[in-house]
Structure 1
Amino acid sequence: MTAEPAASVIIPTRGGRDRLHYPLDSLMRQTREDFEVIVVIDGDIDDTSGLIEEYRNGGWRALRVERFEENHGRSGALNRGIETARGRVIIRCDDDLEVRTDFVDRHLRAHDDQEVSAVVGLTTNVFPDGAYAEAYGRDTNESFLSDALDTAPAMQWRYWAANCSATREAYAAVGGYDESYRRYGWEDVDMGYRLAQAGLEVRIDPSLTARHHGPSLTARARTLRALHSGAARETFLLIHGNDALGPAPKPGGPWGLAVRSLASVMTEPVAGLLAGLVDKLLPTVPRPVGRKLVALCVESAGLSGVRHPGRARSKF
């Protein structure tokens, strides 16, 4: 590693000891060496610090660690990483991503000759074989990737998430991640929005796509995540106003009626109960039926979170 690294890779983590090997092992195999890796431990609940020491004792001196004694949330962890980073380009890599060997090089080249810039790399979910993956997980993953690549350039900021990079000057233009986001998600969308509002072209680079080893693996997990994500949307709107995202979703037709009807009663306990039942049914019903059942739970939960944020009560 050079005295002043070209890039700093920030990995926020909490309880990530069993999955951190995905990014760390792949970052050890990069085609270039002029970068540092900063793991920010957001309250060490599983001796993640011990794992980092194992990697450092193996000779990886470009690996550094920052620690919070207590949980500060993902935004706080990302901000600590940005504050201590030394590279001109700051790359976020979540603790369950497996990246390609030229990951750092491609992120750096995406910022060539641009003093202030921001780039999004997508993630593709990795599923073990199972009824949920077959009925819903793999298909929706492909739809997500297709939709992202078809998104108009002016709206690609909405995909700012687990795999992204910006120059130090870009972060300076908008400040750090907003630490008022404490529910699941939307601190990412907030950052993408603020970068775009500052006049930056936040663009997706398909060559940066990384493998994501932490997707929801059951209908129940995906449904609860949708409920909490829908609720977190409220914070974004309180900060930026209702016009920032356009009108709230209003599904129409017979399917929309079913989604709206179920959303009206979709509390967190109901979401867990219904989606858990769907998980039991998935191995026994035709795949198209299973897909519809999962989609109904997920879309209803998301709409419920949007319309009734208080229903997402447990810590996610």
Structure 2
Amino acid sequence: MKFLIIIPAHNEQDHLAFTLDSLQRQSCKDFKVVVVNDGSTDATSEIIKKYTDQDSRFETVNLEKSLHQPGSKVIHAFKNGLQTQNIENFEIICKFDADIILDENYLQEIDNAFLHHPKYGLVGGLLYIEKNGKWIYEGNSNKHHVRGPVKAYRKECFIAIGGLRETLGWDNIDAVLLKNLGWEEVVLPELQVKLIKIKGADYTVKSSDYYGRYFYFLGLNRFLAYVAASKEAAKSRSVLFFFSIIQSYEHCRSKQLELKISDAEQKIINNERWNTLKKKWLKM
């Protein structure tokens, strides 16, 4: 199966070469990489050129710097890269980050998973970070969710869900929609991906404003948003955190900010959240 790998990159001079080197070392050679240089002001473009000059499988797209909006910025760059390719020439569509290192058999194992399991729609490994000289599991509580830096979609699944959405929560929206359509999201725990840059907002405690906007753009109704807010507040042991999240969520509602999902998709997401709530918390 042939891979199309899109890598959004903004000021990644310290990390990108590690990612591209790991791709060149892959035992699976049937892929194309499109690095989207999203308005970098460092040496990112020069690093990309080293690979595009020597390897025809590597291409680049140069953008003016897009607005910094969590979620939407990276997918805006991804879509610009995707538009330069005819996806009919590929079987697997990947959105990778510019700061990961893949084992040499990573793509081959993803390929094998898709070949042997026709219902697999989204596949990826687990993220590991360096701590005290050792690579340890990044620590996300859900080991069954393919994280944003390592998304690999079967083309038919990618098309069926309407691609990726330029919004906060895009990497959870995709999982809900594909499951609703009968596809499976699968994490292969034996595939360990090294994450060499820790993004502060992604891997530490997030702000109440982030959670409020996240729950809104995910399409959660008021009841489910409040339940989700209470869960995050409980983690922080802060009643004030709960009210701050709700304030952010309600602000988005009052402004009627545009959602990147349809009414039908919003209903699917809420139903999935409600079913999960009943299963985990209400034991129904």
User: Could you tell me the TM-score, scaled by structure 2's length?
Assistant: 0.71
Aligned to 1:148: 142
The alignment partner of 2:163 has SS state of coil
1:167 aligns with 2:154: yes
1:233 aligns with 2:214: yes
Structure with more of its chain in helix, by fraction = 1
Q: What is the Cα deviation at residue 91 of structure 1? A: 1.9
Give 1:124's match in structure 2, choosing from 125, 128, 139: 128
User: Could you tell me the TM-score, scaled by structure 1's length?
Assistant: 0.65
The CA distance in 2 between the partners of 1:20 and 1:228, in whole Å, is: 30
The CA distance in 2 between the partners of 1:142 and 1:55, in whole Å, is: 29
Q: What is the Cα deviation at residue 230 of structure 1? A: 1.8
Aligned to 2:248: 309
Unpaired segments of 5 or more residues in structure 1?
150-155, 265-299
Cα 1:228–1:88 shift into 2, 3 Å: farther
- In the TM superposition, 1:92-241 aligns within 5 A as 92-113=95-116, 114=118, 117-127=121-131, 141=137, 143-144=139-140, 147-149=141-143, 156=144, 158-179=145-166, 181=167, 185-216=168-199, 222-223=204-205, 225-227=206-208, 229-237=210-218, 239=219, 241=221
CA contact (8 A) 1:22 1:96 kept: yes
Cα 1:307–1:20 shift into 2, 3 Å: same
The CA distance in 1 between the partners of 2:226 and 2:3, in whole Å, is: 35
1:12 aligns with 2:15: no
1:260 aligns with 2:223: no
The CA distance in 1 between the partners of 2:236 and 2:57, in whole Å, is: 53
Q: What is the Cα deviation at residue 204 of structure 1? A: 1.3
Q: What is the Cα deviation at residue 227 of structure 1? A: 4.5
RMSD: 3.5
Count of residues paired in the alignment:
241
Give the AA of the match of 1:205.
L
The CA distance in 1 between the partners of 2:180 and 2:225, in whole Å, is: 13
Give the AA of the match of 1:208.
L
1:87 aligns with 2:87: no
Q: What is the Cα deviation at residue 52 of structure 1? A: 0.8
Q: What is the Cα deviation at residue 307 of structure 1? A: 2.6
Give 2:63's match in structure 1, choosing from 65, 68, 93: 68
Cα 1:8–1:15 shift into 2, 3 Å: same
The alignment partner of 2:179 has SS state of helix
CA contact (8 A) 1:118 1:166 kept: yes
The CA distance in 2 between the partners of 1:196 and 1:241, in whole Å, is: 20
Q: What is the Cα deviation at residue 79 of structure 1? A: 2.0
Deviation string, structure 1 residues 161-204 (Cα, Å, up to 9, x no partner) = 2112111111110112112x2xxx52211222222222211111
Cα 1:60–1:25 shift into 2, 3 Å: same
The CA distance in 1 between the partners of 2:99 and 2:174, in whole Å, is: 21
The CA distance in 1 between the partners of 2:175 and 2:226, in whole Å, is: 16
Q: What is the Cα deviation at residue 40 of structure 1? A: 1.4
Cα 1:18–1:310 shift into 2, 3 Å: farther
